[in-house]
Amino acid sequence: MGLRRRYGDTVALDGLGFSVAPGQLFGFVGPNGAGKTTAMRIVLGVLEPDAGEVRWRGRPCDEAARARFGYMPEERGLYPKMRVADQLVHFARLHGIDRAGARAAAARWLERLGLGDVAGRRTETLSLGNQQRAQLAAALVHDPELLVLDEPFSGLDPVGVDVLSEVLRERARAGVPVVFSSHQLELVERLCDAVAIVRAGRVVASGRVADLRAARSARRWRVELAAANGAAPDWVGAVPGATVVTSEDHAVVVELGPGGDEQQLLDAARRAGRVRRFAPEEPTLAQLFREVVA
């Protein structure tokens, strides 16, 4: 936490920190170059931080703990000439699983991910989709206690997305914290319990998705009037601290600044016309994202 990492003169991480609870599906989002991959590499011990530390179950994370992590790097890669099953056994054993256990786990995951028929084939002869599944199996084969997946959904077809979503949910239900990065914000919103939004090496918003949305919704209101008066809703201007975010024919979304009072807003709206709807506006994750990284 409070991770710092530089590449030469480029600051990749500038005090980035977040925490994930057991059984939580955690979305890690941010624009390209925000430092997501660097942060994940540091969690896995592939990179050393310049400052800060990674803690696991309350203690500084060591090699023994990292051996129980599962990782899917953004840059996919397996040994192209190795047979799929051999490859999974190899990775399981590198994580400290014994030979018999590794074989059993490899067979189990190959079956689970629909790769049973190609287990004996060289990895390079598999279709792209199946190679992705093999990559996922390599992250899961040692039954990790923490899953860190860098862009696991990129390049998957809709069926693949469903399979992966189900596997991640199942792992989370088993109590495994699952951290993954993605640019597909609708997917993150649907799947994740909590998110961290990063920008320029810092976390700019984090927490449970519902809380993040609620925090914003207290300040945003959607007002719909029965009669459209066509012109810009200048009635909003009369309310102290209120600014128009969007405005359509009948509806206007208003943000209240500090000290703004939604009751005053409602009164002003009623003076302007018949109010058909007055409700807090919950932003989608995508809207939140645009606001905080802008």
Partner 1 sequence: MIGTVAAIALVARREIVERARERSLWVSTGITIAVLAGVLLLPSALGFGGATKATVAVAGPQAERVAAEARRAQKAFDVALSVRRVRDDAAARRLVRAGDADVAVLAGGTALAAAADADDAAVAAVQAGSQAARGTRVPPPLPVTQAGDENADERSGIAFVALVILYGQLLGYGFWVATGVVEEKATRVVELLLSAICPRQLLAGKVIGIGLLGLGQLLLIGLFGVLVGSASGQLEVTADVVAAVGVVLAWFVLGFGLYSCAFAVAGSLVPRQEEIQSVTAPLTVLILASFFLSFGALDDPGSSLAHVLSFVPPSAPMVMPVRSIAGDAAGWEIAASAGLTLLAAAALIALAARVYGAAVLRTGSRVSLRTAWRAAAKG
Q: Which positions touch partner 1 (CB under 8 A)? A: 41, 44-48, 63-64, 66-67, 69, 71, 73, 75-82, 86, 90-91, 93-96, 138
State whether residue 55 is helix, strand or coil: strand
CB nearer to partner 1: give 80 or 240: 80
Taking the complex as a whole, how short is the minimal distance between the CB of residue 73 and partner 1, in angstroms? Answer: 4
Contact (Cβ atoms closer than 8 angstroms) between residue 147 and residue 191: no
Is the CB of 41 or the CB of 133 nearer to partner 1?
Answer: 41
Minimum CB separation of residue 99 from partner 1 in Å reads: 10
> What CA–CA distance (Å, rounded) separates 251 from 56?
48
State the nearest-atom distance from the C-beta of 120 to partner 1, in Å: 13
Nearer CB in complex with partner 1: 75/259: 75
| Closest CB 5 distance from partner 1, rounded Å | 12
By C-beta, is 121 or 208 nearer to partner 1? 121
Strands, sheet with 25-29, edge to edge from the N-terminal-most edge strand: 69-72, 146-149, 178-181, 25-29, 194-199, 202-208
Strands 25-29 and 55-56: unpaired
User: What DSSP character marks residue 50?
Assistant: S
Shortest Cβ distance from residue 71 to partner 1 (Å)?
4
Q: How far is the CB of 44 from partner 1 (least distance, A)?
A: 4
SS3 track for 246-278: EECCCEEEEEECCCCCHHHHHHHHHHHCCEEEE
Burial of 151 (0-12, 13-18, 19+ CB in 10 A): buried
- What stretches of 114-227 adopt beta strand conformation (E)? 146-149, 178-181, 194-199, 202-208, 220-225
With tokens 């190679």, the residue in question is: 131
Question: Quick one: 88 or 268, whose CB is closer to partner 1?
Answer: 88
Q: Which two tokens stand for residue 4?
A: 């710092």
Query: Minimum distance between the CB of residue 95 and partner 1, rounded to whole angstroms?
Result: 5
Minimum separation from the CB atom of position 142 to partner 1 (A): 8
Residues 6+ apart with CB under 8 A from 294: none
11 within 8 A of 51, measured Cβ to Cβ: no
Nearer to partner 1 by C-beta: 92 or 252? 92
Which lies closer to partner 1 via its Cβ, residue 124 or residue 157?
Answer: 124
Residue 21 or 94 with smaller CB distance to partner 1? 94
Q: Which residues pair with 275 in a beta bridge?
A: 225
CB 154 within 8 A of CB 76: no
Cα 36 to Cα 50, 76, 84, 96, 124, distances in angstroms: 16, 16, 29, 28, 28
